[in-house]
Amino acid sequence: MDEPLYDLRVSERQKEKIRRNARIIDRLSGSFMMVRHTGEDRAEINSIEDASFRAGKSEVVAKYRQLYVVQIIRYWVELLVSLAGIAREKT
């Protein structure tokens, strides 16, 4: 879910900042840290730079992810209220 939001909502300036921060974290801690994880695309994450980059992406799209989930919930609530009104009219 994060990939489309990242592509659509994050500016090029912010994307470059995330890439730059990931490279810095890798240079600072890559020699004494190790990562073994799996991303949401089921790809293996085994470098500090990749893990840091994905964490940065996740952090920057979190507000958009939350916004869209709330909008979907709001739509469903409005739909249910509307259907309840129709059901009350028919009884």
Find the domain containing 17 and state its range. 2-90
DSSP string, 24-90: HHHHHHTTT----EE-TTS-EE-SHHHHHHHHHHHHHHHHHHHHHHHHHHHHHHHHHHHHHHHHHHH
Please write the tens of the pLDDT for every residue from 9-39.
999 999 999 999 999 999 999 788 888 988 8
Given this model, what pLDDT does residue 16 score? 97
Rounded Cα–Cα distance for residues 42 and 54 (Å): 13
Given this model, what pLDDT does residue 77 score? 97
Share of the chain above pLDDT 90, in %: 68
Predicted structure pTM score: 0.74
Indicate the number of domains in the chain.
Answer: 1
